[in-house]
């Protein structure tokens, strides 16, 4: 039997429609959410992500400003730029696209962003609030995973969840979110990583697997329990001579072998990716409401 394909694009479109309606209500009260995205250098993937984020903002009525900086921008110039954006009344959210060039101290820049405008949820204060069980801004990708599970009817409460990867952007915060006791989380969470001797031991017992370790097509059908829910966070370009461009995008899951065993699976593209952008928009609207005393 073939798995249900979870349509992240459709779910993210629903969320964006809900946000658009909320932004109309905010505008009727004289409030316009604003997001500033800072792009440093000429990394094509970063440029594409920032463009997609700005376009998504404009589509639902968020004021969006993209600040493009030369690769040669100094650390001190970045400090000045973030300080300016922190002061701007019309900017509710600040996003500094990662990775920054090596000569800029990225963690030092992250700490400088006003935590009230940290819509990426990367500031240590927001990370600490998440750990303390009082989340304010959570990172967009794990937030999108919790939401895609909810909206596709796969509530993780009481389930065995295995997360592959302990990264700062996805695995680590997601493990905290999914193990927290809420109506939509409350799962038993295991994180597998490079120190795990036999990952199959864990994945074969999992009701839900989140693959977020950045290894192309790592999770195969014979590593999963029949009927499991598979969330694929990977975005890997692989060579493919049969493809017109000579390469194609694949996830951390071997989709073709997994789809015949899994109960449900997110595709790449069209799964978690669109959810990440929708959650950034959601955090920006939330920041705007908090800053205007509306929540
Ligand atoms: N680079 C890769 N993912 C992200 C993200 O979610 N936010 C930012 N700022 N940079 C990224």
Is 69 found in the same domain as 158?
no
Distance between Cα 150 and ligand 1 center (Å)? 23
Q: What is the CATH number of the domain that holds 189?
A: 3.40.50.720
Q: Quick one: which H or E segment has residue 53?
A: helix 44-60
Same-domain check for residues 107 and 156: no
CATH number at residue 38: 3.40.50.10860
Residue 18 lies in a domain: no
Q: How many domains does the chain have?
A: 2
Distance 221 CA to ligand 1 centre (A): 30
What tokens were used for 239?
């060579």
Residue 177: per-residue pLDDT: 98
Instruction: For residue 189, give both structure tokens.
Output: 């969470």
CA distance 98 to 127: 17
Does the beta carbon of 140 lie inside 6 Å of ligand 1?
Answer: yes
pLDDT number for residue 215: 97
Q: Are 75 and 167 in the same domain?
A: no
CB distance 43 to ligand 1 below 6 Å: no
Residues 145 and 110 grouped into a single domain: no
pLDDT tens for each residue of 222-278: 999 999 999 999 999 999 999 998 999 999 999 999 999 999 999 999 999 999 999
pTM greater than 0.85:
yes
Cα(228)–Cα(6) distance, integer angstroms? 13
In tens, the pLDDT along 175-194 reads: 999 999 999 999 999 999 99
Q: How confident is the model at residue 18 (pLDDT cuts 50, 70, 90)?
A: very high
* Domain containing residue 52: 30-116
CA 258 to chain centroid: 23
- Asked whether residue 294 is assigned to any structural domain, the reply reads no
Instruction: For 27-75, write each residue's pLDDT tens digit.
Output: 999 999 999 999 999 999 999 999 999 999 999 999 999 999 999 999 9
Other beta carbons within 10 angstroms of residue 288's beta carbon come to 26
Judge if 161 and 64 occupy the same domain. Answer: no
Tell how far the Cα of 201 is from the centroid of ligand 1, in angstroms.
32
């Amino acid at each position: 039997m073939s798995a249900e394909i979870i349509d992240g694009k459709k779910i993210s479109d629903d969320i964006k429609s809900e946000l658009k309606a909320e932004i109309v209500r905010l505008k009727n009260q004289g409030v316009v959410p604003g997001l500033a995205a800072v792009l440093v250098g000429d990394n094509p993937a970063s440029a594409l992500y920032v463009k997609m984020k700005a376009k998504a903002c404009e589509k639902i009525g968020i004021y969006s400003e993209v600040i493009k900086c030369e690769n040669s921008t100094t650390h001190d110039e970045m400090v000045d730029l973030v300080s300016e954006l922190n002061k701007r009344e019309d900017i509710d959210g600040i996003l500094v696209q990662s990775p920054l060039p090596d000569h800029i101290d990225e963690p030092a820049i992250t700490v400088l962003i006003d935590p009230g405008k940290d819509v990426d949820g990367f500031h240590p204060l927001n990370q600490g609030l998440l750990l303390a069980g009082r989340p304010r801004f959570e990172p967009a990708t794990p937030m999108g995973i919790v939401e895609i599970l909810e909206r596709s009817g796969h509530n993780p409460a009481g389930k065995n969840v295995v997360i592959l990867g302990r990264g700062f952007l996805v695995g680590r915060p997601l493990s905290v979110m999914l193990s927290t006791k809420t109506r939509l989380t409350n799962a038993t969470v295991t994180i597998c990583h490079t120190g795990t001797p036999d990952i199959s031991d864990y994945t074969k017992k999992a009701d839900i697997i989140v693959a977020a370790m950045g290894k192309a097509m790592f999770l195969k059908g014979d590593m999963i329990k029949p009927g499991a829910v598979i969330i694929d966070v990977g975005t890997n370009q692989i060579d493919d001579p049969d493809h017109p461009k000579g390469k194609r995008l694949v996830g951390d899951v071997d989709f073709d072998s997994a789809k015949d065993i899994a109960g449900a699976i997110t595709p790449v593209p069209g799964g978690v990716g669109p959810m990440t952008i929708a959650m950034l928009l959601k955090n920006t609207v939330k920041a705007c409401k908090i800053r205007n005393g509306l929540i």
